[in-house]
Amino acid sequence: MTDELNGMMRVVVKDQPQQGLTLTTKPIPSELQPDEVLIRVTYTSICGTDHHIYEYDDWAKKRLKLPFTAGHEFCGEVVKIGTEVTRVKLGDIVSAETHIICGECQFCKSDNGHICENTKIIGVDTDGAFAEYVRIPAMNCFVNSPDKNPLHLSVQEPLGNAVHTMAHFPVEGKDVVIVGCGPIGLMGVNVAKAYKATKIIAVEVNEYRLGLAKKLGADVVINPLKEDVIQRVLEETEGRGVDVIGEFSGNKTAIEQSFKYLKRGGGLSMLGIPSKDIDVDVANDIVFKGIQIYGVVGRRIYETWHQVKELIDNDMLDLDTLITHTYPMSKIEEAMEIMGSGNCGKIIVDPRK
């Protein structure tokens, strides 16, 4: 093992200020800080953020410092530990909370580390998991049940986003709308089903993903390019609107419409990030309706992770349906193109191939 860890590893790096990623090699990290671990990556999955990095869009141009190894959603085996590590042990199968938090700011100290003011992100601010090995702080490790499907374990980070979004307001026995059925929105549909929502309505423009939403638990699907979303949702809810909305799209029109079909006293959880200002009738659609709005940042550390573990350990989700593609890391650009097409659910990458 020692000789193996002194060698080279394949990685996918963002090294050019243009569209694309580069498959290359780097030395396996040999020196660990006392609080760090080295993980042999089993599977990694592609996030929307990774696609922004691939495209090198306006966000990426402003945010990234090149070069670095991309990727942040993964599972793997702990193969080396720092001298002060007690959180995990050699051989543990782990996934990673990708927000590296400071532990010192007022938010961290009040158990709100998910909004730490000094957050760094694995695979954005530090070298990530599109690699055969990744080095991270031990505090970012979450130990998995070793008998669970590693494909499922590799998607827990985005699944945590979906759980955080859909669990903030109670959905059991409630009518729910999921706005935007990208991979995390699709997870939101499946989580709402697992948490026993009465009626799940999915809103999405991509027909492939609407079909997946049906398979994952949506009772009603609405394509806003073909139907009036507000009218249809009100028809499905006896004119009162829905109790809970999970907003995953970030689309200006979709967000504005959601205020119109949210029931009085309802809850709106917002994960999607709009690129334009949102126009809202604050008096009539927020104040006089008595609604609550919750902004979702990552996952609550580690409360959300335990919720995710419960769902996976009890086989409450349909992750084999959600995971639609698996690619060798050697075909990372092909995987990114499929991601960009929208005709996919979750895409998994095997770093060993």
Strand segments (E) across the chain? 8-14, 22-27, 36-45, 68-69, 73-81, 93-96, 99-100, 120-121, 133-137, 141-143, 175-179, 199-203, 220-222, 242-247, 262-270, 292-295, 323-328, 346-350
Helices (H), 122-264: 150-153, 156-167, 183-194, 207-215, 229-236, 252-261
Instruction: Report CA-CA distances (Å) from 196 to 200, 218, 247, 264.
Output: 10, 12, 19, 21
237 carries an active-site annotation: no
- Residue partners of 68: CB distance under 8 A and separation at least 6: 13, 14, 123, 124, 125, 126, 127, 128
Rg of the chain (C-alpha set): 20
Residue whose token pair is 């109790």: 243
Active-site annotation holds for 49: yes
Q: What is the DSSP code string of 77-96?
A: EEEEE-TT--S--TT-EEEE
Q: Which one of the listed residues 44, 49, 69, 165 is annotated catalytic?
A: 49
In three-state secondary structure terms, 279 is coil
Among residues 22, 24, 25, 52, the one annotated as catalytic is: 52
- Planar angle of CA 340, 64, 59, nearest 5 degrees: 50
Residue 292 structure tokens = 């609550």
Write the DSSP symbol of residue 330. Answer: G
What residues are labeled active site? 49, 52
